[in-house]
Every structure is written in C-alpha cells, then in structure tokens.
Amino acid sequence: MSKDLIYETLISAIREKIPHKATLTNALVELLCIEREAVYRRMRGDVAFSFTEIAAISNKFGISLDSLVGGWATKSRPYQLSLVEYVDPIEDDFKMWGMYNERLWGARNDPSSNSVECMNVLPATFLLDYEYIIRFYLCKWYNQYGHSDKAVHFREIEPSEKLLKVQRETATAAKYLRKTSYVMDPLIFQYIVNDILYCRSIHLIDEESVRLLKQDLLCFLDNMEVLAARGMYRETGNPVLFYISNINFDASYSYLEAQNYRLSIIRAFILNTVVSLDLKAYEIVRHWLQSLLKSSTMISVSGEQQRILFFEKQRKIIDSL
C-alpha cells in the first residue's frame, strides 16, 4: 500500500469521526500538543504524521491501524476489547472509562442522541445503589476472569470507590441521552439466580450474603418496575423504555448514536466490553437491535398487563433463593 493511500485513508477516517473542520483542528491541536499551523500542514499532506501521532489518533478516535494499511479482510470490522480491572483498577482503567463518559456528556445537548441495549445481565447503569448485586458480579468476574488461581469468597470482594465514582458519572450522563431503550432477555433474572445458587453450592457465598443479595434484587426489581411504568428518567424527563424479548441472547449488545459518532458495544467477560467506532459495525448492530425491538413486547407506560405479569414472575424467581 502506498504512503499516499495510507495518508488518504487516515485523513478520511479522521474526518468521518469529526466532520466539522474547526472542531477537528481543535481536537488534533489538543491531542498532539502541536500548533494549529502544524495541524494544517499535516492535514494538507505537506508534513507527514509521525507513527507516534498516528497511534495517538487511532487510540483517541477508535481507528484500526490494520485498516490504514489494508491488513484486514473486507468482511472484518475493527473492535477494541476494553479490559478494565474492576477489583484492582489502575490509572489506565479510569482513563478508559473517562473517555466513554466524555462521549456520553458530549451527547447531552444533542436532540438526536439515543441508545438501545439488549441485555442478558442486569444493566450496570442501574446497579450502583445495590452494593450486594455489584459485589456479586465482581465476585463472578474475579473468579472466572481475574488473575488469581485462588478462589475469592464473596465477602472478600471490595469494589473500588474511585471506580464506583466514575461509574456513577456514567449513570448520570446516560440519563441525558434523549431516548434510551432496553430489551431484556426473558430469563435475565433466572440467569443471575442460577449463578447465585451455583456459587452457594461451591461455598463462594454464604447464606447470610445470599439473603442480603436477595433483598437487593427485590429492591432493584421494585425500582425498575416504577421506572418502567413512568417511562422516563425523573431527573431529566428523557424517555427510557423497557422491552421483553421473545428470544434469548448469547450476549449483551448495544449501540450509542449521536451527531458526531456512532458506537457499537458487545458485552464480554461479564463486565468488560468490546467497542467499535466503525460505521459498518454500528450499522450491523443497529439493524439487529431495531429488528429485535419490533419483535419484543414493550412493558413501559402503556404495556401495563404485560409489565405486571413480567415483574410478578421475576419476584417468584428471586424468591426461590
């Protein structure tokens, strides 16, 4: 691949992420720590971007380095696995989460901003007031995907206060999206109950912790039912709609749409995500989720009968603990 073609591919990818010329220039000045005129020279092709600058741009804007050199198949799309260390996070983890929060806050005044998520685990943005649910997901993540060969008991798990603070900012920012839709796997609460029962059977969680976890789940369910009936966030008045799918999911998928970017996300390893800013990847996920919405049952606002039946069934499942 010629250098000219690599340059053209990079410039095209950058402009796709930020079409507005002045905004793009300001972003590159800040990112590369160079003068505005130096940015202009690079954008015109008078001066080449250094490898370090290309790497910084790729990391910031989610551009695949493979795509710049033609090293990927036409059927492949670039995704980045975000491996946050939830139990013992480092500074890079906070930086990664902070970048996502920046995108959410950036959509605050965007009238077209919206998000759709299909989920087979409880949505993280609603869990921050439920200590035992958070600790359980952390316990499961640590024992399955952590770096220790030793099993860690539920009581030993302590969430990072600093990470919880960043996640609370995510939850707050998400409420400013102009529209949010959640499609739940019909067995979403059965999955977590099954996991709790298994952890109890192998002595990773004791009876008292299970009792407290059950209380958290019932409280979470009550608050979710109120939110579903209201159909909007009290803090912002923006609509939030809940649907029940007629099929089960192999993973949780979501997309986030705003004027300046399109983001598609796949949940991996319980708490981590695989993220892409690639437009084609976004279109694929969006098409699938929109089709799923059409075949699912809305339980928000007007779907009162279906909502009552769903939440009654979930309470019986949780009561089995």
- Residue 235's pLDDT band (cuts 50, 70, 90): very high
pLDDT at residue 2 above 50? no
Residue of 242 and 101 predicted with greater confidence: 242
For 116-145, letters b (16+ CB in 10 Å) and e give bbbbbbbbbbbbbebebbbbbbbbbbbbee
Mean pLDDT of the chain: 85
172-216 pLDDT, tens digit per residue, is 999 999 999 999 999 999 999 999 999 999 999 999 999 999 999
At 307, which amino acid appears?
A: R
Question: Tokens standing for 58?
Answer: 């790729």
Q: What is the pLDDT of residue 133?
A: 94
Q: What is the pLDDT of residue 1?
A: 43
pLDDT at residue 73 above 50? no
Instruction: Tell me the percentage of the chain whose pLDDT exceeds 70.
Output: 90
29-45 pLDDT, tens digit per residue, is 888 888 988 888 888 88
Q: Please provide the distance, in angstroms rounded to a whole number, between the alpha carbons at the two ends of the chain.
A: 60
Q: What is the mean pLDDT of residues 120-146?
A: 87
CB atoms within 10 A of CB 279: 14
Q: How far apart are CA 225 and CA 189, in angstroms?
A: 14
Q: What pTM was computed for the model?
A: 0.74
Q: What is the mean pLDDT of residues 131-149?
A: 84
Q: What is the pLDDT of residue 71?
A: 46
Q: What is the mean pLDDT of residues 74-102?
A: 72
- Residue 72's pLDDT band (cuts 50, 70, 90): very low
For the packed helices 131-145 and 188-201, what is the interaxial angle rounded to 10 degrees?
Answer: 70
pLDDT at residue 16 above 60? yes
pLDDT at residue 75 above 60? no
Q: What is the pLDDT of residue 181?
A: 95
pLDDT at residue 62 above 90? no
SS (H, E, C) the chain: CCHHHHHHHHHHHHHHHCCCHHHHHHHHHHHHCCCHHHHHHHHHCCCCCCHHHHHHHHHHHCCCHHHHCCCCCCCCCCCEEECCCCCCCCHHHHHHHHHHHHHHHHCCCCCCCEEEEEECCCCHHHCCCCHHHHHHHHHHHHHHHCCCCCCCCHHHCCCCHHHHHHHHHHHHHHCCCCEEEEEECCCHHHHHHHHHHHHHHCCCCCHHHHHHHHHHHHHHHHHHHHHHHHCECCCCCCEEEEEECCCCCCCCEEEEECCCCEEEEEEECCCEEEEECCHHHHHHHHHHHHHHHHCCEECCCCCHHHHHHHHHHHHHHHHCC
Q: What is the pLDDT of residue 230?
A: 94
Residue of 59 and 70 predicted with greater confidence: 59
Q: How far apart are CA 228 and CA 209, in angstroms?
A: 28
Q: Please tell me which of 17-26, 39-48, 254-263 the model is most confident about, judged by mean pLDDT.
A: 254-263
Q: Please tell me which of 13-17, 83-87, 149-153 the model is most confident about, judged by mean pLDDT.
A: 149-153
Q: What is the pLDDT of residue 276?
A: 82
